[in-house]
Amino acid sequence: MELDASIEAHLAKIEGVASVAIRKFAATRIGDGGPIPPEITRFFAWQAARTPGWMDVEQHWINDGAVGQTPK
């Protein structure tokens, strides 16, 4: 990632690569595709990290230093 690139530009690259991998993976027959490609799991991880629920957990960790604990 370039130092002057925005996070949205970085995420757009991840989404673009994932879209190609999803199309290829979806076109394979069940049992013939092997494991889920890393491009897809990377995309899922970034999506999960951007959800309000996950952001609440991160904010809790930042505010309270309670790593490993979820907010009540």
Checking if the pLDDT of 57 tops 70, the result is yes
Of the pLDDT bands very low, low, confident and very high (cuts 50, 70, 90), residue 68 is low
pLDDT at 31: 80
| Residue pLDDT, tens place only, 3-56 | 566 878 888 999 999 999 999 999 988 887 688 899 999 999 888 877 888 778
Checking if the pLDDT of 71 tops 90, the result is no
Write the CA distances from 3 to 6, 7, 9, 56, integer angstroms. 8, 10, 12, 27
Of the pLDDT bands very low, low, confident and very high (cuts 50, 70, 90), residue 2 is low
